[in-house]
A and B are shown apart, each in its own frame.
Chain A
Amino acid sequence: MSFPVLPVILLAPVAAALVLVFVPKDEHKLIKCVAAIGTFVSLILSLYVYFGYDQNLGGLQYVIRHDWIQDLGVTFFLAVDGISLPMLLLTNLIGFSAVFASWNINNRPREFFILLMLLITGVMGTFVAHDLFIFLLFYEVVVIPIYIMVVIWGSSKRVTKEYAAMKLTIYLLIGSAFLLVGVIALFSKSIAVLGGPDMSFAGLAAAGSQLSDFDQKWLFALLLFGFGSLISMWPFHSWSPDGYAGAPTAVSMIHAGVLKKIGGYGLVKIAVLTLPVGAHFWAPWMAVLGIAGVAYAAFGALAQKDLKYVVGYSSVSHMGYVMIAVACLDVIGLNGAVANMFAHGVMAALFFSMIGFIYEKTHTRWIPDMGGLARQTPRLAVGFMMAAMASLGLPGLVSFVPEFTIFVSAFHNYGGLAVIGIAGIIITALYVLRAGANTLFGPPRPEYDHLEDIKGVELVPLVVLGTVLVVGGLLPSLLFDMINSGVVPLHAEISNVLQLGGNL
């Protein structure tokens, strides 16, 4: 492999951001085109990597590794495997769509798209880094652009955008403070075990599994808190509905679509892999918190009248499934967790982009003020309903198989408890259908007769994300074979340590 494809994927949006610095700030069209090109390059290349990845070979591919900081044992280590590739692809699908979902931003667009490019790069970086230090460098890059984007381009409804932005930021930073303590302590202990510093995931995993049970348990608790607050694990979820409601469309899409998933990804690829004994110890707690999240957030969503709050709570609820799945700690569960993150990412991004358009056109997100939009804006309605159907797990769309997988594994491992979680799907159907019905159907309102349906470039999010929804639903093997090729070796390693032996 001579062509450094992963660095190019990472740097294409950065290059676009640099170009944007020199574009005159009134050239709105040009600014948006540059941003679109930057994300398009990344999207095409990540598709190339996704389909070029050799699943039979498995393991890390497209590896780039250079010495970086010697006394910390840090290497600049970029690679992809079956778990990180779906997330990388997801990031680029959403990033590309987000540019078009923001096509109508005309207030300081240059700054907006520069920040958006940095945001996308940061998220991508966490999924391709295989060195914990490099992972951390990308991990928090995203926090500051998001803060600035929310305070400038956000909207104040139930809470002010300043409040939303600060809540988002402080929650994530406090979570990452605990995460950092855990990481530094883990690193410090790993030096003693390995006899030298090594920050790569594999190196830390080799050291971590040899730590005493007690160390593994408290370190895992710190990592769980850090990653858990990012994935909006109940009861650390309350930033999520408020934050999404305050954020501009593109930020909601990326945040709900992929950024949150860094938490789940980190749990699987770092916390579980490195500290299997700790994971085993905390798994029942994770499952309980996951189930509580599913149930609580589903009821929360039921009570909301603001569209963004509905989707915000629903995303907390869906991430509860991911927590349950991770807590199963078997191949089927982990497969389901990763696949569900992918499915939910596509669905949430589509949801938020459609809500963004609705808000842009009607200037409201208040469900009682809407109705019958399907007549006036049929294409918008199609996108909205696709996302809604995916959200309730309709067979034939991308999220059905992941949810089914999770239920199989959860039922096997947690039996009765899982029933509560599975029951959440009924409430999900209830609130999603209700939101759809009250927004799109019923008698059309005369004040919305003048609305124009989405057209031209505005259709890009619908086409891109809608296609993935359907294709992923009809050909789930495209997603699952890939994830399975990453999960099986990971599970083999942790079950080696746990001596559980065998799969489900």
Chain B
Amino acid sequence: MPFDISLLSIEMLTAALGLAVLIMGIISPQSARKGLSWVALIGLVGITGVAIASWDTHSSVYSGMYLVDNYATFWKITFLVAATLVVLGSMRYVDNMGGQTEYYSILVFATLGMMVMASAGDFITLYMGLELMTIAFFILVCFRKNDGKSVEAGIKYILLAGMSSAVMLYGLSLIYGLTGSITINEVGRIIAMNPVSPALVLGMVMLVAGLGFKISAVPFHMWSPDVYEGAPTPVTAFLAVGSKAASFAILIRIFVAALPGVWEHWAMVMAILAAVTIIVGNLVAIPQNNIKRLLAYSSIAQAGYILVGLVTATEAGIKGVMFYAFLYVFATVGAFTVATYFYNITGSDKIKDYAGLSQRSPLMAAVMLVAMLSMAGIPPLAGFVGKFYLFKTIVDNYLWLAFIGLIMSMVSVYYYLRVALVMYRDDPADPTPIKISSPVAITLVLTMVVTLVIGVYPGPLSEVVNAAAHSFFLQ
């Protein structure tokens, strides 16, 4: 097959954008570096446009090493939207923190890593994308280098992420040893034809462990509250959204495309993992009194919900995962943008300091509430539709999981409402209204409107995701 370089245009543009930001930052004076955020923003929006334009391209590069299909493109759009929203919502925070050049260019490279993961057709490409993303996050997590907590978070993340990558790599190498191939679809064919060996099960377990770490599924979740709390808030948002979504993209690739032959061995593992993650994430979130830790535990629970879609390994399940991941971006970025901006104004992440936020800034309080309720799956917000799609796939064969998931999501309302209680009931200690800068206001309104619109009228998005999930099985 002749090599069509235009298939890689999204990735190349992203790499160029990352380099351009880096170079422009170096050659421009300190005072002009604030403008880099706009360069990154406009670049990301443009690339999103290119990604949308390349919809319905189905091809592969280097005999299946790199796959271009609607599945990958949809994930790429998800990552780009997340990156765009994070940049838009955190300009002022980054200007206060300094180091714009590195921040924006590394953020763009992290996005590039996610894209490579989504398109990866073999284990090497997949691992390369994963490492590109993870290493970028090492730097971003400890970006506040004078803040002990941030550095601590960075060290924790490096050690644990490195370890989990190693475990995952070992799992991949076992599977390679058994099948003699690193191309995902080829591996799928070979495994389906041969009997299951203990080594394969071992490899599979290692993959579950390694990827379980990336999506912070219980019991591999211990790192995430500490890292989420210590990292700069916009980075936390991107870590919670982008890194998790990308890990789900490869989780589906590996388990549904490479390991469908041993589905009956991992389906129950996934179901139990999902149940435990949902229960632990929601229960441990209850006593938290720091907003970032609360959101961290709630994002663990969210990962549990998304895992539900993987259990059946069907098109409907994949659709559920992608749909949920997409709307999860808006809810999470909305909540974290409020937290970022609030920290900017008050220097606090404590929930009790959110007292009277509804009187100081009705918009911020409303966005926080809508984002949290969407995560809890309260209609008419997007999370409800997402959960409907996810649980629809398992209700016939895993009814117990549906019970656990839906009851726990009602439990989650308890701790989300505690935040609402503080924001709405109490009077503020300092009643001065919070002025919101326009980029932040745009981010907040955008996340809230999208969460509402998807919740009320999910039809169009659902059609798009159907096409994306359908293309997964065409390769």
Chain A residues within 8 Å of B, Cβ to Cβ:
67-72, 74, 108, 111, 133, 136-141, 143-144, 147-148, 151-152, 162, 166, 169-170, 173-174, 176-178, 180-181, 184-185, 187-189
Contacts and interface: CB of A to CB of B under 8 A. Distances in A.
A177 B414 CA distance: 14
Contact of B410 (A144, A166, A170, A185): A170
Nearest to B463: A70
A234 to B, nearest CB: 22
B463 A181 contact: no
Given A67-B459, A69-B462, A177-B407, A151 B424 contact: yes
A181 B395 contact: yes
Nearest to A148: B424
B459 A144 contact: no
A138 B413 contact: no
Closest CB pairs A-B (n = 9): A173-B410, A137-B380, A177-B406, A137-B379, A151-B425, A177-B410, A69-B459, A177-B407, A185-B395
Interface in B398-434: 399, 402-403, 406-407, 409-410, 413-414, 417, 420-421, 424-425
Interface stretch (B127-135, B198-206, B384-392, B436-444): B384-392
B331 to A, nearest CB: 15
Interface residues of B, number: 36
Given A67-B459, A147-B420, A185-B399, A174 B388 contact: no
A219 to B, nearest CB: 11
Given A148-B424, A185-B395, A188-B392, A111 B410 contact: no
B420 to A, nearest CB: 7
Contacts of A140: 378-379, 384
Q: Give the secondary structure class of B's interface.
A: helix
B466 interface: yes
B402 A169 contact: no
Given A111-B358, A151-B425, A188-B395, A176 B410 contact: yes
A148 B426 CA distance: 11
Contacts of A148: 420, 424-425
A44 to B, nearest CB: 26
Nearest to B456: A137
Contacts of A178: 403, 406-407
Contact of B462 (A71, A169, A176): A71
B99 interface: no
A185 B402 contact: yes
23 contacts: A68-B459, A69-B385, A69-B462, A70-B462, A71-B462, A71-B466, A108-B359, A136-B379, A137-B384, A138-B380, A140-B378, A143-B378, A147-B420, A151-B424, A169-B413, A174-B410, A177-B403, A178-B406, A178-B407, A181-B395, A184-B395, A185-B396, A185-B402
B171 to A, nearest CB: 34
B414 A166 contact: yes
Contact of A184 (B378, B385, B391, B425): B391
Contacts of A144: 369, 373, 378, 420
Contacts of B462: 69-72
